[in-house]
Amino acid sequence: MNNKQYRRIHVIPANPMTVAQQANRSKFAQAILSWQGLPLEDKDTWREYAKYLEVRMSGYNLYIRLYMLFT
């Protein structure tokens, strides 16, 4: 049995504070707030739509993805 452990150096990931990245983060936050503001019936519709499309994601993720692409 191989129980080797590997140690990696700690790396702090880059945090681009570009205008484009900030705009994307803002849009993502708006998408989440939009989902949270939906009535339960609409959320259930998105969940069913994701199942109908047979995509491998939840209704929440499908909603966020489409929001980010088309708004």
**Could you read off the pLDDT of 23-67 as tens digits, one per residue?**
999 999 999 999 999 999 999 999 999 999 999 999 999 999 999
Q: How many CA atoms lie within 13 A of 23 on its CB side?
A: 4
Domain boundaries, the chain: 19-70
Q: pTM of the prediction?
A: 0.79
Give, as one character, the DSSP assignment of residue 7: -
67 φ, ψ (degrees, to nearest 5): -60, -45
Q: What φ, ψ does residue 32 adopt, rounded to 5°?
A: -65, -45
Indicate if the pLDDT at residue 16 is higher than 90.
no
Confidence of residue 1 (pLDDT cuts 50, 70, 90): low
